[in-house]
Amino acid sequence: MDNLLIFLNPIQLQAVTHRGSPFLVLAGAGSGKTRVVTTRVAHLIDQGDAKPDEILAVTFTNKAATEMRVRVDSLIGERAGSAAAARVWIHTFHAFCARLLRREIGHIPGRESEFVIATQADQLAILKRLVGPGEGPGALKPTDVLTVIERAKHNLVGPEEFPAHTAHEKRLKAFYESYQTELLDSGALDYADLILVTVKLFREYPEVLQRWRSRFKHILVDEYQDTNAAQHELIRALASGSDGLAVVGDPDQSIYRWRGADPTNILRVTEDFENVHIITLLENYRSTQTILKAANSLISHNPRPLGLERDLWTRGEEGEKISVYAGSDEYDESGWIATEIFRSVNTEKKSNYADYAILYRTNDQSRVLEDALRKRSIPYTIIAGSRFYDRREIRDLLAYLRLIVNPNDVLSFRRIINVPSRGVGKISVDRVMEEIERNPTALFDTVRRCVEEELIPPRARRAVFNLMDLLDELTTIREPVDKLLEMLLERVDYTSWLQKAGDAVSRLENVEEFVDTAHDFISSNPDGTLEEFLEEVSLAAPIDDFDETAGSVSLLTLHAAKGLEFPIVFITGIEEGLVPLKYKGSSRDEEVEEERRLFFVGLTRARYKVYLTRALRRNLEGRKVWTKPSPFLKELPTSLLTDHSVHNLTMFATSQDLLAVEHEQEREKAKKAAPAYSIGDRVWHDKWGRGIILSRAGDGDSLKLTVKFARHGIKKLVAKFANLQKM
């Protein structure tokens, strides 16, 4: 057998060698789908079915795309030459569209190939100016408006097509139109635009579509269950009439419905293309039998599209039972998790910190977990938290670089006109920006006119004049990127300015890391341009920074865990209202099904061991609330679970159970704390002096004593409050 194929099982082999019609691979978690996709790419090249640059492979994260490139290179490097893998079009959806638009967007009036990609921070900055802070009753929040706009774009609805039947919809439409105008004036596209504009280009310019259709003989799309309407239409347009489409996905792992993903797009593949061959991969190479039995039992409560069997199985070991624990509150829950990890690593020497991942449903849950890990000096890393390139100091530097590429980038100029502080006050900034808004397509000329016509005060004029001179100078240099960035930092004296600001140390470290990123970019792309560098960082996602060799416990949300795997996984907050999350929408069945899929994804991240934990009480919105166990727990076979909860509690404990335990604990505590009083004991009281105990009644907090005092007679006292001292 061909050396490329010797590590494939019979079903994987079918997927790699299939030719002659479009086909759909339903690939369960851990079933080797990345191996299938990369081996298929290598096999197409090796068999002469396609040249490297005639293959397009699309996925969802830069991390997955990078892994795919490395694997393809390792498979075909010796056969087809080391540069072959680099010529395969392996990209995320957004990176592919950005690359295509650099070549073709000039067909659309008003668009130029030097566009910049607006980050989420840029998007919100625009909407905050348009919408306001979003405070007060009935006020629209910028984040809510952005969600509406992105949802519209994911469904190929531009500002012109946006419905405006009600007053609320008319407001949203007006914001959408103004938002889009600001992007256009700045020569910018947001993430959703990259796909929306590409589809628009294909629809309005058939010769462009035909050029790209004929370019690719084979198109492979991974994680198809996560595609939205725009992404599906993009693939449908590119692959129409072709028998070289291969789609890989798993309906059981569709967890992004809230951002427009539609798992039924997998079904649409069978409707939009003829003679689609379906292959199902169910043999799992990651998890133990116990974990898979639990995951299969859970997901069986969801409907099964296509009516196909989707139970995962493995030839691997049975494995340990799933450990469950119910803490009295989130502090108890987190403390138990930290203690369990510490014990395993340091006492039993069974594992390393890097083996562990702690998953949670919402970011709010991480703080208590972090505190518990810190108390035990356990190193941890928050995965896919705040995006590195959204930090203020990085956005400042990116704004300068973006202006060098696109001198009409209004967003970036607004950001850097007085950063670092150069004496341009708010009134002067507003005056300059007013002029720019009147003529956004000639930004540099407009700014110079503000200086020449003395539209701003002398100090501001000098500062703006010097800024424009600097931008002119930097524009003539452009590359290499790392040298350009170093020169920029020196010329604007950015580090000195940062040293005077709060959090100076961490911000300076971030700047150094950004410079290192530029060095790395040039090292791996000696001929890389500034445009390519900006595109790479603009499309970067937080998960791209995940380092498996960091030697620390990983903390991340269930959503961020998609596509990753760990030896040992804790899933926390297994409570109604968290897993599943409490929704206010009307599509409750669909929401619960998605939450069940999210829990399924969490379970199948683990190789050897899973822990499920919950808190019986949890702080929510500033108050302690009683929780109920997640209904998903009842969908797991009890024979696969082992309960580590203490004090006679279980994972299914109720508030009454915990109250009973705590009441008993208080009684025991009171018994131990109270002195043992006996009849005949001589005692001293601070007010009544010396006395003798004549009788006693009750116990614990309710113990009552009858004492005869030498000078004050007989008194009846509650022992808890009497503060008697035995003599």
Specify binding-site residues for ATP: 27-34
The type of residue at 187 is G
Task: Please pick, among 597, 605, 614, 618, the residue that the annotation labels catalytic.
Answer: 605
The span from the CA of 698 to the CA of 722, in Å, is 15
Burial class (CB in 10 A: 0-12, 13-18, 19+), 200: middle
Tokens encoding 286: 């990651």
CA-CA distances (angstroms) from residue 150 to 145, 147, 183? 9, 5, 14
The partner residues of 643 in beta bridges, in order of sequence, read 324
Task: Please pick, among 34, 147, 339, 495, the residue that the annotation labels catalytic.
Answer: 34
What is the phi-psi region of residue 478: left when phi exceeds 0, alpha when psi lies from -120 to 50, beta otherwise? left
The type of residue at 432 is V
Rounded to 10 degrees, the C-alpha dihedral 366/372/378/384 comes to 0
Q: How many residues are recorded in the chain?
A: 727
Are the C-beta atoms of 611 and 641 separated by less than 8 Å? no
Residue 589 annotated as catalytic: no
Neighbours of 572 (CB within 10 A): 29
The span from the CA of 260 to the CA of 151, in Å, is 6
Tokens encoding 601: 């994804």
CA-nearest of 236, 218, 220 to 228 is 236
The span from the CA of 150 to the CA of 540, in Å, is 18
Task: Please pick, among 73, 104, 185, 222, the residue that the annotation labels catalytic.
Answer: 222
For 661, the enclosing helix (H) or strand (E) is helix 655-673
The span from the CA of 320 to the CA of 566, in Å, is 15
The span from the CA of 341 to the CA of 350, in Å, is 10
Secondary structure class of 368 (helix, strand, coil): helix
Neighbours of 434 (CB within 10 A): 11
User: For the chain, what is the radius of gyration of the CA atoms?
Assistant: 32
The span from the CA of 119 to the CA of 154, in Å, is 16
DSSP 563-582: T--EEEEEE---BTBBTTBP
Task: Please pick, among 223, 262, 396, 482, the residue that the annotation labels catalytic.
Answer: 223
Task: Please pick, among 92, 227, 253, 604, the residue that the annotation labels catalytic.
Answer: 253
Residue with tokens 């790699």: 16
Residue 223 annotated as catalytic: yes
Residue 222 annotated as catalytic: yes
| DSSP letter assigned to residue 305 | G
Burial 254-289 (b: 16+ CB within 10 A, else e): bbbbeebbbbebbebbbebbeeeeebbbbbbebbbb
| Binding-site positions | 27-34
CA-nearest of 544, 481, 442, 515 to 61 is 544
The span from the CA of 381 to the CA of 123, in Å, is 28
CA-CA distances (angstroms) from residue 694 to 1, 163, 179, 706, 723? 98, 87, 86, 5, 17
Are the C-beta atoms of 18 and 49 separated by less than 8 Å? no
Secondary structure class of 616 (helix, strand, coil): coil
DSSP 531-548: HHHHHHHHT--GGGG--T
Tokens encoding 654: 């109720």
The span from the CA of 512 to the CA of 231, in Å, is 37
Residue 712: HSE in the Cβ half-sphere, 13 Å Cα cutoff: 14
**Catalytic residue IDs:** 33-34, 222-223, 253, 605
